Amino acid sequence: MNRANNRYALMLVLLACCVTLAGCGPKEAPRGDISGSVSYQGKLIETGCISLYSPTNGLGSSGDVQSDGSFSLKGIPVGSYQVSVMPPQPVPPAPGETPKPQAKFPLPAKYAESTSSGLTFDVKKGANELKLDLK
In tens digits, the chain (135 residues) has pLDDT values of: 555 554 444 444 444 544 445 555 567 889 999 999 999 999 999 999 999 999 998 999 999 999 999 999 999 999 999 999 999 888 788 898 888 787 789 999 999 999 999 999 999 999 999 999 999
pLDDT, residue 25, reads: 56
What pLDDT sits at residue 26?
62
Select the CATH number that applies to the domain covering 31-91+106-134 from these four: 1.10.600.10, 2.60.40.10, 3.30.720.200, 2.60.40.740: 2.60.40.10
Buried b (16+ CB within 10 A) or exposed e, 87-115: beeeeeeeeeeeeeeeeebebeeebbebe
pLDDT at 12: 47
pTM metric for this prediction:
0.75
Q: Which DSSP letter does residue 121 get? A: E
- Would you kindly state where each structural domain of the chain is located, as residue ranges? 31-91+106-134
Is residue 127 within 8 A of residue 78, CB to CB? The reply is no
Q: How far is CA 91 from its chain centroid?
A: 23
